[in-house]
Amino acid sequence: MTLSLEEQARLTAGATMWTTGAVPELGLREVAMADGPMGVASGRIDERDVSILTPAPVSLGASWDLDLLERVGALVGNDAIGRGVDALLAPNVNLARSPNAGRAFEYYSEDPLLAGLCGAAWTRGIQSTGTGAVAKHFVCNDSETERDTLNAVIDERTLRQVYLLPFELCCEAGCGGIMTAYNRVNGDWCAEASEPLRIVREEWRYDGVLMSDFFATHSTAPTLNAGLDLEMPGPARFLGAKAADAVASGEVPAERLADAADRVMRFARRFGGAKTPADLDADDMLTEAAAAGMVLLRNDGLLPLASDLATIAVIGPNATAPCYQGGTFARIAVTPDAPTPLQALETAFAGRATILHEPGVDPQPRLPSLPVAPMVDLGDGCSDGMTVEYFAGHDIAAEPLTRETRATNSLVWFHGVHEQARFNEAGAVRARGWYVAAASGLHRFYVGATGPVSLSVDGVPIVVRQEQPAASDIMGVLKAGDAAHADLALEAGQRVAVDVVFRFAPARAQGLWYGVRAPDTPDAMLARAVEAARKADAVVLMLGETADASVESKDRADTRLDSGQLRLAAAVLAANPRTAIVVNVGHAFDANFATDAAALLVAWYPGQAFGTALTDVLLGTREPGGRLPVTLAREEADYPAFDLKPAPGGDLAYNERLLLGYRGLRARGTAALFPFGAGQGYTTFALGQPRVEGGLIHVPVTNTGARMGAEVVQAYLVDSPFALVGHARITLAPGESGEVALRPHQHILRDIAAQDGIAIRIGRSAEDEAFIVDFPAA
C-alpha cells in the first residue's frame, strides 16, 4: 500500500504528547515513548507512577563497566515493557564539558569515548528487550543557561572528534532514534542543522528516525530539508499537515517527505511489536550498579568499617534526605520502600553498634516538604498529602471539576496529558491540608507557581504572589522553581489549615509547589552534630545536593558544596578525624575540603538502591568499584571550560576545542586534585610490562592485596590531543594474576596522523605514568 501525501505528512508529527502517529491501514500502530535516562519517567510527572530508578548516567559512567551498563539498559527495558512504553528518550550522550552544567548528572563523562561507549552499551541493553533507545540531545546541548537560544560556536574538527563521537557510537549500536536539541550550532537550530544531520544520514548512513526535542522545532521547510523526520510532541506545530503544504508549494522535495515518513514507519515497526524481557533480578542489579559507580578517592584504613565499632555517628543532611536523581522532567517517582542511607545503616548495625544521627544543616535548604493530612477524606486510603481540587475558571467557590489527594509538595501538569482540567484555558487549583507543628517557634511557609498564587493559614493569607508570566515564559518559571515565603509563629502541637490557591492563564504546562520549614537554627544543628561526632568511634558524614540542585534550564554558579555543609565538614573533622565523607552529587565538585578526611567516597546519584549499596560498601560486603568519569580540579580556573553564560547575542564559544576536561589540564601541565580515571577499592594491584600482539595491547595485572577486587586498566594517547583510547576491567582474587587485552578504539586512531606508530600510555588514571608502548599505525 502506498501512502498518500497527506498520510506521509501526518507521520512527521507526533499524535499526542508521548505517541507517534499510526497508520491502521498498514497495521502500523503508534509508538508510545517516555522520558528518562535513569528509568521510565511518568508522562504525567506524578509521584504515584512509581518506576525503577537506576543510578544516574554519571554514576554508571563511573563504573567503567560496559557489561554492567548493558544489563542496566535491559533492566530499564523490562520496566518499559511493563508500563506499555515502546521507546525511551535516552541515553543522554552530551558531555560534562563544564562541572557547572545543570544536567551533568545525566552525562556519562567528560570524555567522548567513555560517554559513547557507555551510551552504546546501554542502548544495546534496552534494545535487547525490543524497547527503543533515542539518543539525545543532538548536539552541543552540554549546558542549560539560555539553552533555548544559545548558539554553540564550534570548529568542525572539535565537533566531529568530540561532540559527535558519542552519537556515532550509539548509531553503530543501532539506536532507534536521535533527538535534536533546543540550542543552535554554528547559527542553525539543531532541528535545522543541515551539516550535522547530513553527517548522520550520509556519512554514518544512519537509517533510524531523527526527531526533535519537545517543542524544539521552529520551521517547516528548513526543518524537513535539513533531515529531521519527526516533530514532537503532537499535535503538530510546524510539520504534519504543513509538511504536505510545503511539498505542494515546491519548498520540500516529495522524496524528502517520503523518506521522513518511511523512517518513522521503520521506527514503529521495529519497536511497536513484540518485546523480550531480560531475566534480571531488579533489586540485586540496582544495588550492584550503585556500588559499582561509587568512587573511593581516599582511605587511610577506616573503610570498610570495623565490625567491633561500638558507636557510629551518621551525620549530614543526605543521610535522611538523599539525592537519588536530578530535578528534570525525566524525574522518576521512587518507590516508598527504598531505605535511606540512615535506615540501611541502622538495620545493618542493629544489635551491634549504636547509631547516632544529626543532620548538622537543613536537609532541604531550597524547598522543604509540607507534611500534612488531607483536608477531605476521598476514600482513597491516603492519609498523607493535600486535598487538591481543580476548577474551570478562576472561581474557587464553584463546584470543582475533580478532587484528588497528592502526597507531594511539587505538582506539574501538561495540557493533553493531565485530564483534571483544561490547562490551556483559564482555571484554578486549590490545595488544602492539616499541618501540625512539631515544635514551637517561627515556621517559614513557601509557595510558588506558574501564575498568581496565595498561601493561607487558618484562613489568613500570609504569602501572596500576583505575577502572571507570559505563556512563552512558563517553562522557564516551572524549571526554576522559585518560591516566596513568610514566617508565622506556631506552638508545638498546634494544628492549622494550610490553603493554597493557584489561578492559571492558558499555557501548555502549569506548576505549583509549596513547603514549610520548622524552627531550628544553624548553630544549634551544628552543635548537636559536633557533639555526636565527639561521642562516636567513627563518623560517616553524608554531604551533597538536594533533588532540585541539578535542574533543566539552570546551570550552577560554582563547584562548591553548600557553605553550611562545608562549615559542618570542618567542625566534624576537627571533632573526630576518624571520619569517612560520602559526597552525594551529580557532577565534578570542589573536593579540597575533604583532603584530610580519613576516607572520601563519591556516591554520585546512585538511584533507589542508594542506602543498601552504600551500606554494603561501607561494611565491605561490596567493593566501591568506580573510577572518576570526570576530573576533580584543584582550582575552578583549572577547568578548560567553566563559564557557561553565552556572550551578548547568544554565542557560546567552545574555545577549548579538543582540550576539554583532563585533556586541557594535561596540555597545560596542570595536576588535578583527583584525576580523571582515579579511584581505589579495598585491595591493591600491580601492572606488568605491556606487549603489543595481534592488534591488541596485553597488560598483566596482579592483585597484590588481601581481598578480591577489580582494577580498571586505561590507555591514553601520549601526544596531543592526549585522549583516552581504551580501557578494560579485570577482577582478581588475592594474589591472583591475569591479563587484560586492550584494543585502541578505531574512532580515536582514525583521526591521528602517524607514519610508523602511535605512542600509547597504559596506567590507572589520566595522570598515572605506568608504561608507554608503541602501537602500529593503521
* CA-CA-CA-CA torsion sign (645, 648, 649, 653): negative
Dist. CA 757–CA 767, nearest whole Å: 22
Could you tell me the CA-to-CA distances from 6 to 9, 89, 254, 261, 320 in Å, in that order?
Answer: 5, 27, 11, 11, 56
Q: Cell 491501514 sits at which residue?
A: 25
DSSP annotation of 202 reads I
Sheet containing strand 295-299, strands side by side: 295-299, 599-602, 579-584, 538-544, 311-315, 354-358
At 292, phi and psi to the nearest 5? Answer: -65, -25
Which 3 state secondary structure label does DSSP give 685?
A: strand
To which residue does cell 501512502 refer?
A: 3
Contact 565, 361 (CB under 8 A): yes
Question: What SS3 state is found at 46?
Answer: coil
Q: What is the longest distance spanned by two Cα atoms in the chain? A: 83
> If we measure between CA atoms, which residue out of 569, 427, 570, 432 comes closest to residue 504?
427
Among residues 738, 693, 690, 691, which one has the least CA distance to residue 711? Answer: 738
Calculated CA dihedral for residues 208, 210, 214, 218, nearest 10 degrees:
-170
Distance separating alpha carbons of residues 392 and 402, to the nearest angstrom: 10
Buried b (16+ CB within 10 A) or exposed e, 740-763: bebebbebbbeebeeeeebebbbb
Residues facing 450 on adjacent strands: none
Question: What letter would DSSP give residue 720?
Answer: S
Instruction: Map grid coordinates 507543628 to a residue.
Output: 437
- Catalytic site residues? 213
At residue 629, the 3 state secondary structure works out as: coil
Contact predicate 754/777, CB 8 Å: yes
* Contact assessment for residue 771 and residue 763, using Cβ atoms and an 8 Å cutoff: yes
Which grid cell is 52? 525503577
- Cα 145 to Cα 397: distance, rounded to the nearest angstrom: 41
Burial call 580-596: b when 16+ CB within 10 Å, e when fewer: bbbbbbbbbbbbebbee
Find, among 127, 105, 628, the residue nearest to 331 by Cα. Answer: 105
Residue listed under C-alpha cell 513484540 = 274
Distant-in-sequence contacts of 152-160, Cβ < 8 A, 24+ apart: 152/183, 152/184, 152/185, 152/186, 152/652, 152/654, 153/186, 153/651, 153/652, 153/653, 153/654, 154/185, 154/186, 154/654, 155/654, 155/657, 157/657, 157/658, 158/654, 158/657, 158/658, 159/185, 159/196, 160/199
